[in-house]
Amino acid sequence: MSHLFPNYGRWPIRIIKGEGNYLWDEAGNRYLDFVAGIAVTSLGNVPPQVKAKVQEQLDTLWHCSNLFEIPVQEQVAEKLTSLTCGNRAFFCNSGAEANEAAVKLARRYMQKIKQQPRYEIITFKQSFHGRTLATLTATGQAKVKDGFDPLPEGFVTVPYNDKEALTAAVTEKTCAIMLELIQGEGGVHPASTEFVDHIKGICAEHGLLLIVDEVQTGIGRTGKWFAYQHYDIEPDIITIAKGLGSGFPIGAIVGKEELAEAFSPGTHGTTFGGNPLACATALATLETIEDNGYLARVEELGAYFIKKLNGLADRRTDIVGVRGKGLMIGVELASEAAPVVAKMRESHILLLQAGPNVLRLLPPFTIEKDEIDLAMQTLEEALDAVTQTV
């Protein structure tokens, strides 16, 4: 009998080792890792530059109190603000905590600094923002909320990429709009440029804050540091987690200077937030991406992969469409994705589904072209075996 709560639908494999783009199970089987983007190890297992920095930190300081200044925390804050339109950073331990902090900051800014009684956060259908009570309420997927009533007030969810629905949802109580620029869990759906331009206009017109959830899209996954940099916007708050720590738990929000006064000592915090070990992984991760030119690599390999997938889609009726940017790619099938995911796993390639029909391909930035080619060939074989329609 397992001693774990059964809330994860785990695959029947026991993973004990990772190296580069591969994972090994207990029986010695090697798997090509196309789930790294969700599992956050965007630089592969275990990136040597990150390992060296963490090793150095392991040998010097573990104490994690925010009672004093911690130089490595300041270094990550400086780096993140230099890479974004934000000027201040706050550290926490996960994506949900980052979104929770963003909601609190937005509400407190409106209520304490702007002196306006606004609290409502507009989010989008099919979005995913986390599993704390506030962030699951913000999430636009009913299954995440099921059985957890009563949910906190002050969240409104409207259809994604729908300008009219968004306009209609804004009231004098609206405080912020919270948005994923590519919905990850919801099926790899990008926001259209027109929609994002519309959001920008609505925020300016009504004095709303724009919170961009970059938990999945951030830290290079789409070929830029952050997905918002593909659009003509400057979010007020950016939420970050997953890839930031190369597998070590760390989350962050980066916000504009004028928001900073809304948080004063005692208003928000968490024991482990910004601890030196987590910050060492984050700093080394950011430096590794920069030193190795990974953004250009993600862009190039992403374009290569998407082109190949589009070629496959042209030849097959069982692929409905290919979406995504950089190495955040979704392939929508005409039928259920689960049997294809299982078949790929039998062929030792690990990938995920997002929603019932979408395959999600999130390889590490270190993936090679021949490994993408192998995944393409294996996918075609898996589709042949599962859907039998060529």
**Which part of the chain contacts ligand PMP (CB under 6 A), choosing from 9-17, 125-133, 321-329, 354-362?**
125-133
Phi then psi dihedrals of residue 308, to 5 deg = -65, -40
State which of positions 80-109 bind ligand PMP (CB under 6 A): 94-96, 99
Q: Which of 3, 5, 9, 12 is nearest to 346 (CA)?
A: 12
Does residue 129 interact with ligand PMP by CB under 6 A? Answer: yes
If the CB atoms of residues 224 and 343 are measured against ligand PMP, the closer one turns out to be 224
Contacts 24+ apart (CB under 8 A), 16-19: 18/44, 18/45, 18/46, 19/44, 19/45, 19/46
Taking the C-alpha atoms of residue 108 and residue 112, their distance in angstroms, rounded to an integer, is 6
Instruction: Tell me if 261 is assigned to a ligand binding site.
Output: no
**Which part of the chain contacts ligand PMP (CB under 6 A), choosing from 62-70, 111-119, 180-188, 355-363?**
180-188
If the CB atoms of residues 278 and 319 are measured against ligand PMP, the closer one turns out to be 278
Q: Before 46, cis peptide (omega within 30)? A: yes
Does residue 47 interact with ligand PMP by CB under 6 A? Answer: no
| Signed CA dihedral, 329, 138, 181, 80: sign only | negative
Residue nearest to ligand PMP (CB): 95
Q: Which of 241, 278, 284, 327 binds ligand PMP (CB under 6 A)?
A: 241
**Which part of the chain contacts ligand PMP (CB under 6 A), choosing from 52-60, 211-219, 313-321, 374-382?**
211-219
Q: Which of 41, 18, 23 is nearest to 219 (CA)?
A: 41
Instruction: Tell me if 204 is assigned to a ligand binding site.
Output: no
Does residue 184 interact with ligand PMP by CB under 6 A? Answer: yes
Q: Which of 18, 37, 47, 130 binds ligand PMP (CB under 6 A)?
A: 130
We find the least distance from the C-beta atom of residue 36 to ligand PMP, in angstroms, to be 14
**Which part of the chain contacts ligand PMP (CB under 6 A), choosing from 81-89, 112-120, 126-134, 218-226?**
126-134
Instruction: Tell me if 260 is assigned to a ligand binding site.
Output: no
Rg (CA), the chain: 21
126: left (phi over 0), alpha (psi -120 to 50) or beta: left
If the CB atoms of residues 122 and 379 are measured against ligand PMP, the closer one turns out to be 122
Q: Which of 167, 247, 178 is nearest to 214 (CA)?
A: 178
Does residue 185 interact with ligand PMP by CB under 6 A? Answer: yes
- Kindly state the number of chain residues that form the binding site for ligand PMP, as judged by CB under 6 A: 14
**Is residue 312 within 8 Å of residue 288, measured between CB atoms?**
no
If the CB atoms of residues 245 and 371 are measured against ligand PMP, the closer one turns out to be 245
Taking the C-alpha atoms of residue 122 and residue 225, their distance in angstroms, rounded to an integer, is 25
**DSSP state letters, 243-256:** GGGTTS--EEEEE-
Exposed, middle or buried: residue 164 (CB in 10 Å: 0-12, 13-18, 19+)?
exposed
Does residue 179 interact with ligand PMP by CB under 6 A? Answer: no
If the CB atoms of residues 99 and 174 are measured against ligand PMP, the closer one turns out to be 99
- DSSP bridge pairs for 122: 156, 177
Does residue 37 interact with ligand PMP by CB under 6 A? Answer: no
Taking the C-alpha atoms of residue 47 and residue 45, their distance in angstroms, rounded to an integer, is 6
We find the least distance from the C-beta atom of residue 132 to ligand PMP, in angstroms, to be 8
Helix (H, G, I), strand (E, B) or coil at 366: coil
The structure tokens listed for 87 are 């000027």
**Which part of the chain contacts ligand PMP (CB under 6 A), choosing from 29-37, 128-136, 310-318, 332-340?**
128-136
Instruction: Tell me if 81 is assigned to a ligand binding site.
Output: no
Does residue 21 interact with ligand PMP by CB under 6 A? Answer: no
Binding-site residues for N(2)-acetyl-L-ornithine, please?
131, 270
Site of interaction with ligand PMP (CB under 6 A): 94-96, 99, 128-130, 180, 184-185, 213, 215-216, 241
Name the binding residues: 95-96, 128, 131, 213-216, 270-271
